Structure 1
Amino acid sequence: VAGIAERGERPRQLAVFGTGETQWGQEYYCGAVHRLIRYFRSDYPPLEIEQMPHGQRHAGAIEAWTDAVLAHYWSNTDADHRRQHA
């Protein structure tokens, strides 16, 4: 991220995910995810998971997030892929 910022680059499409720890307070939970979304002006849905992902519940959340990100990508009329395949 630092290298991207130094070059003044901001990818047009960027999805962000991360893990966090609520024991430090909800205001800090997944703080890096929130800062990256703001910095890159991402309009993709974030994925936030408490601590380390494990089990079926997290696998389902990751799968649902991936599906939502891909649906958003394919529905974006400004996406580079639309121009390449049109």
Structure 2
Amino acid sequence: MVVASLSGNTRELARRVAARCRDAGHAVHWYEADDLRQAPPLAADAADLVLLGCWTDNAGRTPAEMKAWVAGIAARGEQPRQLAVFGTGETQWGAEYYCGAVHRLLRYFRSDYPPLEIEQMPHGERNAAAIAAWTDAVLAHYRSNTDADHRRHHA
């Protein structure tokens, strides 16, 4: 799991997604995209599934720290096997920009996983249900992809 969070909203969302993954029996390796001082705990192409959590910058842009992470894996020749994206945004800046980074990352990586978009800080039963449903759908999609590839699957 690679996380870029400015105010803590995306980090909290990532914690909830990670907990759901762990509860389903998967190992989760956590990496803060802006922590360039330490090496990632696992190379992007060594992970069975990469989960990117990102906030959205001005005008729907991907923040610099996530762009740096993407550039870093590209420079090392790492291509994630499978990748899903979740994030937080604010509709007050315009619906056309809401969670723009999530959609940019999905397009860049050509991911066929569904996105998860949460308005600001995740809270309440509605967000909890959406997070659980998304995480379960991503894990089911992962399992169906790995089963189709006739590979053993690990998270």
Gaps of 5+ in 2: 1-69
Task: Give the ranges of 4+ consecutive aligned residues of structure 1 lying more than 4 Å apart after TM superposition.
Answer: none
RMSD of equivalent CA atoms: 1.4
Larger proportion of strand? 2
Larger proportion of helix? 1
Deviation at 1:25, TM superposition (A): 0.9
Deviation at 1:7, TM superposition (A): 2.5
- The equivalent of 2:73 in structure 1 is 4
Q: Which amino acid in the other structure matches residue 84 of structure 1?
A: R
Q: TM-score, normalised by structure 2?
A: 0.49
Structure 1 residues 49-76: Cα deviation after superposition (integer angstroms, max 9, x where no partner) = 1111011110100000011001101111
Provide the identity percentage: 85
Q: Does 1:34 align with 2:103?
A: yes
Structure 1 residues 15-44: Cα deviation after superposition (integer angstroms, max 9, x where no partner) = 100000111111110011001101111111
Deviation at 1:6, TM superposition (A): 2.4
* Number of residue pairs aligned between Structure 1 and Structure 2: 82
- The equivalent of 1:63 in structure 2 is 132
Q: TM-score, normalised by structure 1?
A: 0.86
- The equivalent of 1:54 in structure 2 is 123
Gaps of 5+ in 1: none
